[in-house]
Amino acid sequence: MVCSKLFNTFLQKYGTNTQAKNVHMLKGSADFVLPTFVVEQRVDLVVMGTVARRGAPGWMIGNTAEQMLDRIDCSLLAMKPDGFVCPIKQST
């Protein structure tokens, strides 16, 4: 229940809540539940927040979002948090 309260608080900033018809909170591992949801709901676009907390520092979009590229048949928009600094340095 803590997660749904936090999610509801977040959504209220944008004028909606967890009871809205177009808001979904899925339970389970994203790499399993998201592809099924995308097919069942005929989703055109998945928007994911991503911070790449594990693995090689060079991951551009994050592990979960990268895994989704091979598992969903729709567009994926990966959003980095404010203040994110890319760990990859441009060579000169």
Total-model pTM: 0.70
Phi and psi of 59, rounded to 5°? -60, 125
Other CB atoms within a 10 A radius of the CB of residue 52 amount to 21
- The model's pLDDT over 12-66, given as tens digits with 9 standing for 90+, comes to 999 999 899 988 888 898 888 999 999 999 999 998 888 765 555 545 667 788 8
For residue 11, count CB atoms less than 10 angstroms from its CB and return exposed for 0-12, middle for 13-18, buried for 19 or more: middle
Other CB atoms within a 10 A radius of the CB of residue 34 amount to 21
The pLDDT of residue 75: 94
The token pair at 53 is: 């907390």
Q: Is 28 left (phi over 0), alpha (psi -120 to 50) or beta?
A: left
Q: So where are the chain's domains?
A: 2-79
- The model's pLDDT over 68-81, given as tens digits with 9 standing for 90+, comes to 888 999 999 988 88
